[in-house]
């Protein structure tokens, strides 16, 4: 068995009196998609924000490639090749794909000017690999479809060497055709050995896209299961009843 890309062990964080995440452990292997499931307020986003550096945990530890790491901010997370694609995608609507690819990390010429030509060339290269049907290089991303926007956000993470990708409901706003396109992108990332934590509340999306799923309820981990071992109903009862199908009562 290989070393996990990420291990989060015994993670807890409280806001005021509320234990948003309570002693939760999850892990992620190379080339794997792990779904994080649970109702609104279960603690999924909070758990993942600890990994992306948005929140500081109260207790627990985070290991990347078997080494304990300290993540105080998003820059620390990036230094461990952890990239996050937020549900809002955090794209600048008025800018084109290349400008969004390099947003905040622009390429500059030797004289310190923005190197637009180099950025567009790099953008064409990576989009050619990830999404060959993409042609709208000169349009602002506001003119793109949901799936195309998602592919720009994914390209941004991959270009900057993501090994651990956090995706928040990547197919929530997409139609069936575009959902298939994003599923294809996720498959490509897996083949490159990238590990993905995929936050979702849709059991069907998780059944289709994930290898394993960790279910949370009221800040606690209900359990982690292999997708091939469970049905939609098993996942639903984990989410709703907090019941783990591997803990069968006779
Ligand atoms: N910044 C915050 N301040 C106070 N409470 C928060 C904050 N972020 C999350 N919470 C609380 O933590 C709990 C878990 O929320 P969240 O992680 O967003 O759940 P999920 O992503 O599963 O819907 C909720 O009770 C939520 O109100
Ligand atoms: Mg959330």
> Domain coordinates of the chain in residue numbers?
6-90+162-241
Ligand 1 pocket test: which of 14, 20, 55, 206 has the largest number of ligand atoms within 8 Å of its C-beta?
20
pLDDT by residue, tens only, the chain of 250 residues: 689 999 999 999 999 989 999 999 999 999 999 999 999 999 999 999 999 999 999 999 999 999 999 999 999 999 999 998 876 667 899 999 999 999 888 999 999 999 999 999 999 999 998 888 889 999 999 999 888 888 898 898 888 889 999 998 888 878 888 888 889 889 999 999 999 999 998 899 899 999 999 999 999 999 999 999 999 999 999 999 998 876 554 4
CATH class (in words) of the domain with range 6-90+162-241 = alpha beta
Nearest CA to ligand 1 atom 10: 20
In three-state secondary structure terms, 188 is: helix
d(C-alpha 60, C-alpha 23), whole Å: 7
Burial 94-118 (b: 16+ CB within 10 A, else e): eebbbbbbbeeeeeeeeeeeebeee
Between the CA of 14 and the centroid of ligand 1 the distance, in Å, is: 9
Give the residues surrounding ligand 1 with Cβ less than 6 Å away. Answer: 15, 18, 20, 38, 40-46
Q: What is the pTM (predicted TM-score) of this model? A: 0.90
Question: Rounded to the nearest whole angstrom, what is the distance from the C-alpha of residue 181 to the centroid of ligand 1?
Answer: 31
């Amino acid at each position: 068995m290989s070393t996990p890309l990420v291990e989060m062990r015994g993670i807890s964080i409280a806001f005021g009196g509320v234990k948003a995440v309570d002693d939760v452990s999850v892990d992620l292997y190379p080339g794997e998609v792990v779904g994080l499931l649970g109702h609104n307020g279960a603690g999924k986003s909070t758990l993942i924000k600890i990994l992306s550096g948005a929140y500081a945990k109260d207790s627990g530890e985070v290991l990347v490639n078997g080494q304990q790491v300290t993540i105080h901010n998003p820059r620390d997370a990036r230094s461990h090749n952890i990239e996050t694609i937020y549900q809002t995608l955090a794209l600048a609507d008025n800018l084109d794909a290349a400008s969004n690819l390099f947003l905040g990390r622009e390429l500059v010429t030797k004289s310190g000017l923005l190197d637009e030509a180099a950025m567009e060339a790099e953008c064409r290269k990576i989009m050619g690999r990830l999404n060959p049907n993409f042609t709208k290089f000169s349009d602002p991303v506001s003119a793109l479809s949901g799936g195309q926007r998602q592919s720009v956000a994914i390209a941004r993470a991959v270009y900057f060497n993501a090994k651990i990708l956090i995706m928040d409901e990547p197919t929530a706003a997409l139609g069936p055709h575009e959902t298939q396109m994003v599923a294809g992108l996720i498959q490509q990332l897996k083949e490159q050995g990238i590990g993905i934590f995929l936050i979702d509340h849709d059991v069907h999306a998780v059944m289709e896209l994930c290898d394993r799923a960790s279910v949370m309820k009221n800040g606690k981990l209900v359990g982690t299961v292999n997708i091939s071992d469970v049905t939609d109903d098993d996942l639903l009862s984990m989410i709703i009843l907090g019941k783990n199908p591997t803990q069968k009562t006779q």
